[in-house]
Amino acid sequence: MSKHVSIDIRVPVENDNPAIRRIESLCIRCGQCKEVCKKEISVGHHYDLLKTEDTAICIHCGQCVNVCPTGALVERQDWMEVADVIKSGKKKVVAITSPSVRVGLGEEFGMEAGSYVEKQMVAALRSVGVNYVFDTTFAADLTIMEEASELIDRIQNKKPLPQFTSCCPAWIKFVETYYPQLLPNISSSKSPISMFAPTIKTWFAKKEGIAPEDIYIVAITPCTAKKFEITREEFHDAANYHHTQGYRDYDKVVTTKELANWLRAENLDLTSVGESDYDSLMPRGSGAGVIFGNTGGVMEAAVRSAYYFLTNEQPGDDLLKLEAIRGLAGVREASVTIADIPVRVAVVHGTDNARKFIAHMEETKTHYDFVEVMTCPGGCIGGGGQPKHIGEDMQ
Ligand code: SF4
């Protein structure tokens, strides 16, 4: 028998993975990583090492990290490099923080799950030496504006529908791997963090009089897949803008759990670090941007924005409270009317649910206009970099 066939695909992670590390000595062969990769993410049983020449396919969502009871799977610990850069004093370090981090971090310091610790988190980042701290909600608004404008353009100009959201990098790799025929349907908008970094290394750099190559940007996210996203070939727009080479839009991504590790290493406790406000790049983000972290949030925000673009009026309660797409069912659907245009939307979380949704959509030829897909159970709030809830059912 070929050596390929005898390999047990216990863990779909190689140690050159840009997002996740495997510590073989801690593995107790419980197989929970394999189960979640198969059942929720629908990756683990959809490749064959014979065909992929021993390359394990990983979309970097980190759900295996979330269920590993021993710490044999962990996100890459990139915070140490950020700490070294700060200590060197050679760069201006900018941190941007995603919405889900401020409701996840407190749990790592013994607070109740879901505690809102925005000001303590900002104070902690200043205490470890970060020079500027910005709220990613600002960039979430940029993404929503782009997604909503694109949706209107696709509907009005008969371009490919449905438009699938593009802000989840694990979902994008899932589509690239298994459904390349759907790539024309993926929104052309970059994710919030991938819009934010070039804004900082161009507009903000000029405003503050800092050379862009002297700015070091770390995104603090709930997401292990963002570590992969920032390594993608496409993301060096700031350098392109400045007609130069040698730096990328992002320098590092650090997860919620990593930030907690970093603070503990610096002997900082979130409960006693004090409070601080974000730096202001531009006026604060909207309520639409804040709901990005929950499954359904992108959809809801984009539908509201599309309504405003088309009517120049604020949406009514029916759009502000899209009850049918709230909640945690794996697939939720709704029909809404935006300026007399009927729009069919769906919200999917978990890529196994996405696989089933696509099969159903193709088999029944059901028309959808806009579909949000997030890889992690519950959306980014359940990301692979968030505090672990071993044994809890995330559904
Ligand atoms: Fe990252 Fe959110 Fe996608 Fe999970 S759902 S992989 S946290 S972007």
In this prediction the ipTM stands at 0.95
pLDDT tens for each residue of 153-207: 999 999 999 999 999 999 999 999 999 999 999 999 999 988 999 999 999 999 9
Is residue 45 within 8 Å of 38, Cβ to Cβ? yes
pTM of the model: 0.89
Nearest atom, ligand 1, residue 295 CA? 5
pLDDT at 237 over 90: no
CA separation for the pair 286, 269 (Å, rounded): 30
Contact (Cβ atoms closer than 8 angstroms) between residue 21 and residue 15: yes
Q: Give residue 5's pLDDT.
A: 35
Q: Where in the chain is the domain with CATH 3.40.50.1780?
A: 79-138+192-265
The CATH topology of domain 79-138+192-265 is Rossmann fold (3.40.50)
User: What pLDDT does 8 receive?
Assistant: 43
344 vs 359: CA distance, rounded Å: 17
CB of 12 shorter than 6 A to ligand 1: no
Q: What is the structure's pLDDT at 81? A: 96
Written as six digits, the tokens of 253 are: 């991504």
- The arithmetic mean of pLDDT across residues 314-321, rounded, is 68
Q: Ligand 1: which atom is nearest the Cα of residue 224?
A: 1
pLDDT of residue 390: 60
Q: Please, are residues 234 and 197 in contact by the beta-carbon 8 Å criterion? A: no
- The DSSP call for residue 106 is G
Q: How many CB atoms lie within 10 A of CB 42?
A: 20
Looking at residue 286, its pLDDT comes to 54
C-alpha 62 – ligand 1 centre gap (Å)? 9
d(CA 339, CA 380): 31
- Ligand 1: nearest atom to the Cα of 221: 7
Q: What is the pLDDT of residue 339?
A: 82
Range with the largest mean pLDDT of 47-61, 78-92, 127-141? 78-92
The full length of the chain comes to 395
The string of DSSP codes covering 116-135 is --HHHHHHHHHHTT-SEEEE
Name the more confident of 200 and 141: 200
**CA 207 to ligand 1 center in whole angstroms:** 32
Tracing tokens 């390359």 back to the chain, one arrives at 55
Phi/psi for 255 (5° steps) reads -85, 175
β-pair type (252-255, 132-135) = unpaired
Q: C-alpha distances in angstroms, 116 versus 104, 111, 227, 280, 376? A: 8, 10, 24, 20, 21
12 vs 55: CA distance, rounded Å: 9
How far is ligand 1, taken at its centre, from the CA of residue 376, in Å? 5
Asked whether 351 lines ligand 1 (CB < 6 A), one says no
C-alpha span between 292 and 297 (Å, rounded) = 5
Task: Tell me which of 284 and 117 has the higher pLDDT.
Answer: 117
- pLDDT tens across 335-388, in order? 888 888 889 999 999 999 999 999 999 999 999 999 999 999 888 999 999 998
Question: Which residues are marked as active site?
Answer: 147, 150, 167, 187, 226, 229, 234, 380
Q: What is the CATH number of domain 3-75?
A: 3.30.70
* Residue 12: cis peptide before it, omega within 30 degrees of 0: no
Question: Ligand 1 centroid to 340 CA: how many Å?
Answer: 33
pLDDT > 90: percent of the chain: 59
Q: For the domain 139-188+286-382, what is the CATH code?
A: 3.40.950.10
Q: Of the residues 42, 232, 375, 388, which should be mutated to test ligand 1's pocket, given the most ligand atoms within 8 Å of the CB?
A: 375
